[in-house]
Structure 1
């Protein structure tokens, strides 16, 4: 029995998933720790690795990663608050966002958190803020190398017209950047983020090389090593077709060393911002099958996992296909000759489908389906359609035939859902009549 199968069986046996809680997210703690180890092994020991909090904005996850010497890349005040609550040291936090308010910047600078300015106007705002109060924060500028689009346009952040960063190939932009650094000795970083899923490694490495070349140009122009750190944002794509981890952190690091040979020679500090590739393979969404039916000859299993947890898969199935594994009512691998079945979710629209005509052992009410490779983005970013409550998320550790679970996030109660939906202000609109 695999560790995953054992975890599913124990989740059912221990009531983590059952008739009252028919949906949960499960995280393999050992898998997360192994991914962090692989990341540290692939890059120079001096690199600062941060986790893109948007991939799993859950305090226990951030605390676990902090124990593995992985900091946080945050994109707003909420994510920053989570990182600080998780105990992540401020000097291991990086603030990236295209829409930072003055208050957000002021807080980051007060904590000594690294800041990457997204645009010229933000840099002007930082001029004022740094003049008002000294800061220990490393400050850089995000550039867009404009190198092109991957296979998923919405996740490609280095296109010619991307909303992120200073467009490096626009007329006059490079010259302005050199001047901006020459006029501001406190600017010591460059940041670029090419994309993640759908972006091949050579495209990502090209963006890093362009950023490295700009750092070299700036340092030559000012006559000193002013740019001392390169923040190479962007995560690795994840293989959703099998258990194989590909590409690996080691493959990417080797390619970076070949594409930008000076990147790892010791002159520059390196910051990474991986997200999906650290967690995806260690997570699954486990859902109970409530009903089965046929329609027009199609076999349909209605489960509790749909668009509310697998939003990207439901709305863009070609870009985000998921593997589905069938388990019986006791959480054991389902037996039987596979037949085409459609796995549907609970949301009230026809397209709420996880998989269409997928070969699976015949499913019955009370069985379970596991959506694999969902440790990042799936159970942590909830789509509140039909006011479906957020499912619980649990970490697990398996050893010697037993599995222990720890709560990451408790299931949302109906009372909490009602409160979140404005119950305290129930009469407010009526009072305006």
Structure 2
């Protein structure tokens, strides 16, 4: 379904990526995820300019857990990036979209046999092995399939990023990765394996990070490991994956940095350490996800009931909330928003944006300054491209929103809105509960 938006009489409307958001809400309904293809491609171009074309022997893979549809797979392939997946479902989506499996990196801390089997049969480019249990499964599957799989070990460098405690991942007490104390044992084991080709190591420090010094610290820890493994075991590291986690702007309080702020620091640290330790430069890989798509997305809602508690608070309830954006409830994540049909009107009130779920914690934004709100207004919540669609649920039996891809005024529906029938598609009533009809 495609249409070119004609922005007529929209002086007071919020225009996002050349599209009138009020018209989008009318055409596709709300809640509605809106994603700008142009903004995604601009970020991909920055990756190429600031990293891929600037340095030799480097790679970049989009971390698809942030936002993944088959259309997104096609965009990422078209831009020449690799794809980072973390589940069998994400891998299957990429396969169905025709994404080149040799450019896929498969992450995850508890991959099931079926997921690893799909990865081996599909001949994915890299499997990021998280633990010894997974290594055992992978070796067995690879032997059965008569394949030799290229892997990286995920290691925990013992560095804690400055972000919410639920999205730090590089600290010593992390559910992810192999502790440094155990890495010698598993490297020694894989060096003699006929089914495993260990290429190097992966580390990830967390998400929504704004400082580059922890990336430098991570590189220093891992390159020291690379040196020691070479000296003690004769193992040569060919690849080093520094993950992603580069912060974006959600509110005016955030001060995001350009990509090169992080990648230059990573490359300078690797070059310095390799020179110091007399090591050959490995291939360096980054995996931005949120940074690629986060600011490229918005979510549109319709305002319903407005409840004023005199002298205390005014609640404006929307037709979505927790099921389509669980991040405020999970992480106390903060968002900014505009009233899409009153974007140029004077701010005159403060409201709290409440979701429609039967949960007191279903609050999308506390204390948002807006023009005078009325029922039927359209609210546009900004920077929802990452971890909204991908984390959406059907809590309270609410259908998931549609997703519209926009580009220079052109609109394309890439995920249909769920219906009530969709909610019941997989439900079965046992025969003994069937009523005579």
With the length of structure 2 as denominator, give the TM-score of the two structures.
0.86
CA distance 1:322–1:97, shift in 2 (3 Å): same
CA distance 1:2–1:276, shift in 2 (3 Å): farther
Distance 1:212 1:309 in 2: 41
Residue number in structure 2 paired with 1:326: 339
- How far the C-alpha of 1:404 sits from its partner, in A, is 1.4
Where in structure 2 are the equivalents of 1:121-270 lying within 5 Å?
A: 121-135=133-147, 137-168=149-180, 170=181, 173-184=182-193, 186-198=197-209, 200-223=211-234, 225=236, 227-242=237-252, 246-261=256-271, 267-270=281-284
Residue number in structure 1 paired with 2:5: none
Give the alignment partner of residue 21 of structure 1, picking from 18, 26, 29. 29
- How far the C-alpha of 1:428 sits from its partner, in A, is 5.0
Residue number in structure 2 paired with 1:418: 424
Contact 1:228 1:269 in 2 (8 A): yes
Deviations 1:189-223 (A, max 9, x none): 21112111257432233223322332233234444
Distance 1:42 1:296 in 2: 53
Give the alignment partner of residue 302 of structure 1, picking from 298, 309, 317. 317
Contact 1:58 1:380 in 2 (8 A): no
Greater shift in the superposed pair: 269-278 or 195-204: 195-204
- How far the C-alpha of 1:67 sits from its partner, in A, is 0.8
1:87 equivalent to 2:98? Answer yes
Contact 2:12 2:344 in 1 (8 A): no
Distance 1:370 1:264 in 2: 48
Deviations 1:237-276 (A, max 9, x none): 2221249872221110111123222589973122222110
Q: Secondary structure at the match of 1:380?
A: helix
Q: Secondary structure at the match of 1:336?
A: coil
Contact 2:298 2:384 in 1 (8 A): yes
Residue number in structure 1 paired with 2:353: 343
Contact 1:393 1:409 in 2 (8 A): yes
CA distance 1:61–1:174, shift in 2 (3 Å): closer
Contact 2:401 2:418 in 1 (8 A): yes
Distance 1:351 1:236 in 2: 28
Q: Secondary structure at the match of 1:43?
A: helix
Deviations 1:39-60 (A, max 9, x none): 1222244422211121112111
Distance 2:41 2:415 in 1: 19
CA distance 1:429–1:249, shift in 2 (3 Å): farther
Where in structure 2 are the equivalents of 1:401-416 lying within 5 Å?
A: 403-416=409-422
Distance 2:25 2:375 in 1: 14
CA distance 1:257–1:159, shift in 2 (3 Å): same
Residue number in structure 2 paired with 1:430: 433
Greater shift in the superposed pair: 125-134 or 366-375: 125-134
Give the length in aligned residue pairs. Answer: 413
CA distance 1:17–1:206, shift in 2 (3 Å): same
Distance 1:277 1:388 in 2: 29
Distance 1:235 1:105 in 2: 25
Give the alignment partner of residue 40 of structure 1, picking from 42, 48, 59. 48
With the length of structure 1 as denominator, give the TM-score of the two structures.
0.87
Distance 1:275 1:133 in 2: 32
Contact 1:326 1:333 in 2 (8 A): yes
Distance 2:19 2:227 in 1: 55
Q: Secondary structure at the match of 1:261?
A: helix
Specify which structure has the bigger relative contact order, considering alpha-carbon pairs within 8 angstroms and separated by 6 or more residues.
2
- How far the C-alpha of 1:176 sits from its partner, in A, is 1.9
CA distance 1:250–1:198, shift in 2 (3 Å): closer
Q: Secondary structure at the match of 1:299?
A: strand
